Structure 1
Amino acid sequence: MTRQRTDARLARLGLAPRLLLNNLLVIVAGAGTVVVTVLLIAPVVFQLHLRRAGVPLEAGVLEHIGRALDVAVLVSVGVGVIIATLTASSISWLVARRLAAAVREAADTSRHLADGHLDARVPDPGMGPELATLAASLNELAQRLQATEATRRELTADLAHQLRTPIASIEATLEAVREQVLPPDDLTLETLTAQSARLRRLVADLEVVSRAEERQLLLDVERVAVPALVEEALAAQRERYRAVGVHLKVSLTAAIPPVLVDPDRIQEALGCLLDNALRHTPPGGTVTLTAQPSDTTKSAAAVIAVSDTGAGFLPAEAEHLFHRFTKAPNSPGSGLGLTIARAIIEAHHGTLIAHSDGPGQGAQFTITIPPATSTSLLANQPAPRRPASPR
């Protein structure tokens, strides 16, 4: 029972008292070791030096000198140990208090973050790289939580805005049918079907974007030749281009290194880019899909570009193109295509950038994917997300 009470009292001790107690135990153990060692060795060494010096001493005198030496050693060592203990205890207490304060501040910051105060931060305590790393990690966590919360709020607002139109259309159509303003014919059913499909497509697109941004986009990667990816993307889009009178061209450079990717996801990204180019290129225009290595070395990345002769955009708007729900005023798309494309490419540790010389000058979207020799691609997690860009 006594032991349990003692353990309970020890468990309630803070970090500073624990550190001080540990240091005191070390000091006491060291002092005891010094005292015992001195008492055992000092008299022997002293008598040895007396014999070597040839000092003739009687047994009584030698005993008296030995006792005097023991007393002198004990007093000297005792005073030294007391002074050293007081000094070491003071220093230990100061250090322990600073350490405890730094840990307490980190704990308080964690508690504030858990309570929803995402602007809480931990200052660097200035007590070594370990605590500096702890503070930096907590601050990075807080920053990511803050960014995630901002993204969640933005997504909620955007989603409410995007869902309002198709839901209002469905409600209006159903109300008109109920009041017999519209007949329940094929045209009415087509309207309802189209709006339902729009909602379903929007939800599916948002799921892809959300999973990618939360680093949960799973990839089934394999070693793939870039020309095969390009040809498959062209085959899927060629008829659509022909139907609206937009020319679709391809330019492949030899010796493009293979890439380690999920072919279905890359096809999805290329499809988004080709679909975007088709919407913004008038009949008679041209969209060109090119693929080439980034340089002439064996470790060169694969560069795939989709260029069009369409509407273009201001160079300052390049990054805004990748924001969710950003699209041209009359565009029939959901405004998520480019966001999805970038999320997929960054999930493969690649990059997707946009460029245009200005309105009416066409646009180019460039994908860069590391070669299959890059070990970083073995991870199924997306790379850190960059600021996103309206077209």
Structure 2
Amino acid sequence: MSASTRWGLGPRLMLALALVLLVGGLTAAAVALAVGPGVFHEHMVRAGVDDHDAAVLHAEEAFRSAGGWSLALALGAAAVTSLAVCALLTRRVGRSLGALAHAASGIGAGRYGARVAPPGLGAEFDDLAAAFNRMADDLAEADRLRSRLLADVAHELRTPVATLVGYLEAVEDGVQPLDAGTVAVLRAQGDRLTRLAGDLAPPSPAPRAASSSSTGVP
């Protein structure tokens, strides 16, 4: 099993969100450190305060410290909230996909009554559930028709097969002579079986490619 197969949807989403938060946090920190102190210093100078005063230096240091802590707390709160929402959404998506996989396994095992409920995660997931249920309905109908066809075929085959077996046993036992009448009956039943086999054969596809190439029509 490859590494990409072991990683589920949840870990992938969490990792992607963590990378987005990391890049966003680093970008916000870089912008804040590059722009904030300069803007604060300019405001202090415009206010007529000596930029070499110890109070100004202390205020700028306090501004940088407060800005850093505020940014760290804001990013931390955003990260916790985002990861919590992502975990909840991932759980719902995973539960929905798990139900879909379970239903698909049931249909693969011949339980054509398996259905999935709309997960309510958006139009795409609801459309997927509806399409799956339509597929299950079509497979159930196809299985019903197949069972009915097999039953009809078994019923149709029973008569000619029984006739052939009966006549052959009678010929072997010497009860029925192998004359022209017997051969005619056997041939008739054989022709009947041939017709039934022809009815069961799938229709051959129309030779579109051949006809198109011969007529020159695309």
Same fold, TM-score > 0.5, yes or no: yes
The aligned amino acid for 2:48 is V
**1:55 paired residue number:** 48
**1:21 paired residue number:** 15
2:212 corresponds to 1:219: no
Pairing 1:262-341 to 2, within 5 Å after superposition: none
Measure the CA separation in 2 of the matches of 1:178 and 1:115. Answer: 46
User: Deviations 1:46-69 (Å, cap 9, x if unpaired)?
Assistant: 223334x34232413432222111
The answer to whether the 8 Å contact 2:49/2:56 transfers is: no
Measure the CA separation in 2 of the matches of 1:56 and 1:74. Answer: 24
**2:103 paired residue number:** 109
The answer to whether the 8 Å contact 2:44/2:56 transfers is: no
The answer to whether the 8 Å contact 2:164/2:189 transfers is: yes
User: Deviations 1:293-351 (Å, cap 9, x if unpaired)?
Assistant: xxxxxxxxxxxxxxxxxxxxxxxxxxxxxxxxxxxxxxxxxxxxxxxxxxxxxxxxxxx
Structure number with higher relative contact order (C-alpha < 8 Å, ≥ 6 residues apart): 2
**1:77 paired residue number:** 71
Measure the CA separation in 2 of the matches of 1:58 and 1:172. Answer: 119
The answer to whether the 8 Å contact 2:106/2:114 transfers is: yes
**2:181 paired residue number:** 187
Measure the CA separation in 1 of the matches of 2:47 and 2:12. Answer: 54
2:34 corresponds to 1:40: yes
Secondary structure of the 2:114 match is coil
- Relative to structure 1, the CA distance from residue 221 to residue 15 in structure 2 (aligned partners, 3 Å threshold; closer, same or farther) is closer
Structure 2 gap segments, 5+ residues each = 213-217
Of 110, 123, 137 in structure 2, the residue corresponding to residue 143 of structure 1 is 137
> What RMSD in Å do the two structures reach over aligned CA positions?
2.6
Structure 1 gap segments, 5+ residues each = 1-6, 225-259, 261-377, 379-391
Measure the CA separation in 2 of the matches of 1:184 and 1:201. Answer: 24
Measure the CA separation in 2 of the matches of 1:92 and 1:114. Answer: 32
**2:154 paired residue number:** 160
Secondary structure of the 1:166 match is helix
Larger Rg belongs to: 2
Measure the CA separation in 1 of the matches of 2:90 and 2:149. Answer: 46
1:101, distance to aligned residue in structure 2 (A): 1.0
The aligned amino acid for 1:161 is H
The structure that is strand-richer by fraction is: 1
Quote the sequence identity (%): 33
Measure the CA separation in 1 of the matches of 2:207 and 2:5. Answer: 49
Secondary structure of the 1:119 match is coil
2:172 corresponds to 1:178: yes
**TM-score normalised by length of structure 2:** 0.84
1:181, distance to aligned residue in structure 2 (A): 3.2
Q: Number of residues paired by the alignment?
A: 210
